[in-house]
Structure 1
Amino acid sequence: MMGTDAELDAAGIGGAPLRAAYAHCRELHARHGRSYYLATRVLPPARRPAIHALYGFARWVDDIVDAPGPADTPAGGRRLIDAVEADLAAALAGAPAERPVVRAVADCALRYDIDPPLFSAFLASMRMDLDVAGYADYAALRGYMYGSAAVIGLQVLPVLGTSVPRAEAAPHAAALGEAFQLTNFLRDVAEDLDRGRVYLPADVLAAHGADRGLLAHCRRTGDQDPRVRAAFAELARINRDVYRRAEPGIAMLHPVSRPCVATALRLYRGILDRIEAADYDVWTRRHSVPRARRAGMALPALGRALTARLLSP
């Protein structure tokens, strides 16, 4: 596998501080985003650092909100996010970034002409995590997911490239970000409860006789309550519909990027498969695609990617 320096050389990224910033983002991606990271390995080397920067920035800000430290209070978290936003705005205007992750993502945004409001929308959703503990319905949750997930799909689209006008592919890219996050919400409901949050629409839970209190009971006891399972089954159906909306966008990407995104979709939908196969038991285990199966998905995609690179003008 190609190392960090070779990828940075292929991308034309020079200067020790900037290369170190990109390398840090790559490490964040490898450590925290196993499915995304594996799919990224299928991309041409020159495109990988930008994806690492975008993922690393998103993960780093998410950790500001969730990890113990200066953001332990909503006010402290808002101050940190405000400082990150100011640093990013200055870097996009040409000033040196104070923070390495910001340095990398600003360079990425400038290289690929990524719309700055997409970063503002992401940071707005991260601020919501400091104050909002639940969502009344799917429409409210989608408002949050636009900034936390859909914009990530829109940010990576210029890096991946398209074979159609970008505006035509954009709704599918946004849907894919949303689909990935819905799968995360189902898989990580126990961890989110521990942080005082529920990312499942209250009206869908209520339609099956479930609520936040019942989820908390399941978290404490590991109980497989049939009302919760029924609500989760409905949310899984919603999630699969979003994957179906996203999938046509793969054919709209540049040929060299299609195997990467197809692999990411299969890997993440595979997590949803495992949740369903476990009868929605998200209380006693954290679901993931086994390593051997991940490799089995990635290797054919790598072959398709290499073929696409050879045929691409």
Structure 2
Amino acid sequence: MLEQAYAHCEAIIKHHSKTFYKAFSLLPSSKKKAVWAVYGFCRQVDDIIDEGTDPEAELKVFRSEFASFLKGEIPKTDPMWLALEDVFRNFTMDTKAFHDMIAGQEMDLYKTKYYTLEELEHYSYHVASTVGLMLLPILAPKKVDELRESAIALGLGMQITNILRDISEDLDRDRIYLPIAEMESLGYRVEDLRSRRMNEAFIKVWEKLAVRAEMHYETAFSAMHHYPLDARLPVKSSAVFYKAILQSIRKKDYNVFHQRAFVSEKEKEALLSAIAGN
């Protein structure tokens, strides 16, 4: 039954995030399965917010289920909880990171525009950096303190990358994550964004955020030697794969409004070979 629960979580990450699945498949079995379970938890919250018929009510139920879970009462609603129970039994998990991630996803229910970079990074910490903090006790149980800032930085870099890739999809949901004050300071208006106007000002805005993301990636890379050998390549791979999305968008002349940038399997294999060779 436990193996079926882990298989359920693996199917979720395999379907929803080929990048993370490819990177973390390199982990030893016990760590890999634990990552699948944490991803299953995060994905369920994400789906409630983005696809739920009554997300506020559904999130309240999920919070209640998590509270019961932490008391040792395993909800029967989803096999993810069974897998996660095994993770909590075998690793010293950071429950605050789980609560913060739920709070971050909840922000999307009432906040649809961001005005400053500080606001954006506050949000990005909650929805992305928290995931890194959840995974640290699994990936590097003896180095959690040394890697905390690196994990937070990696989450910030990845989330800003997501935002720069998904601008058009977010507009379809009436969400603007590009900081409005930053846009206006560079001569790009909200009306331009809603009209999906591609011009020099848009590229300046995009690049300013991309450079910020790349700064966070460099902070993350600077501490990766603290990861144990069995986790170092998977973590670095996930970071390099994600960072490569930015270059993919540049190669496509910043055309995020009409196509979704991605890193091909062939490109990932080349990147993986380069990382493994270093």
For the 8 Å contact 1:149–1:181, the answer to whether it is kept is yes
TM-score (norm 1): 0.84
For the 8 Å contact 1:162–1:252, the answer to whether it is kept is no
The one of 150, 156, 159 aligned to 1:178: 156
Out of 286-295 and 92-101, give the one that drifted further.
92-101
- Once the two structures are TM-superposed, the CA of residue 175 in structure 1 deviates from its matched residue by 0.9
Runs of 4 or more above 4 Å deviation: 299-304
1:49-107 per-position Cα deviation (integer Å, ceiling 9, x unaligned): 1111111221221111111x423xxxxx1221121111112112211223322332343
Query: Which ranges in structure 1 are unaligned for 5 or more consecutive residues?
Result: 1-15, 72-76, 305-313
Query: Which ranges in structure 2 are unaligned for 5 or more consecutive residues?
Result: none
Q: Find the aligned partners of 2:35 and 2:8 in 1 and give their Cα distance.
A: 13
| Paired amino acid for 1:37 | Y
| Paired amino acid for 1:28 | I
Alpha-carbon RMSD = 1.8
Counterpart in the other structure of 1:123: 102
Q: Does 1:139 align with 2:118?
A: yes
Counterpart in the other structure of 2:183: 205
Alignment of 1:274-293 (within 5 A): 274-293=248-267
Number of residue pairs matched by the alignment: 277
- Once the two structures are TM-superposed, the CA of residue 255 in structure 1 deviates from its matched residue by 1.3
1:214 to 1:152, Cα distance in 2 relative to 1, 3 A: same
For the 8 Å contact 1:236–1:272, the answer to whether it is kept is yes
1:121 to 1:209, Cα distance in 2 relative to 1, 3 A: same
Q: Does 1:54 align with 2:34?
A: no
1:92 to 1:160, Cα distance in 2 relative to 1, 3 A: same
- Once the two structures are TM-superposed, the CA of residue 19 in structure 1 deviates from its matched residue by 2.6
Counterpart in the other structure of 1:161: 140
Counterpart in the other structure of 2:53: 70
Q: Find the aligned partners of 1:227 and 1:234 in 2 and give their Cα distance.
A: 11
Out of 224-233 and 178-187, give the one that drifted further.
224-233
Q: Find the aligned partners of 2:77 and 2:153 in 1 and give their Cα distance.
A: 30
TM-score (norm 2): 0.94
- Once the two structures are TM-superposed, the CA of residue 234 in structure 1 deviates from its matched residue by 0.8
1:92 to 1:301, Cα distance in 2 relative to 1, 3 A: farther
- Once the two structures are TM-superposed, the CA of residue 302 in structure 1 deviates from its matched residue by 7.0
| Paired amino acid for 1:174 | I
Percent identity between matched residues is: 30
| Paired amino acid for 1:294 | K
For the 8 Å contact 2:74–2:81, the answer to whether it is kept is no
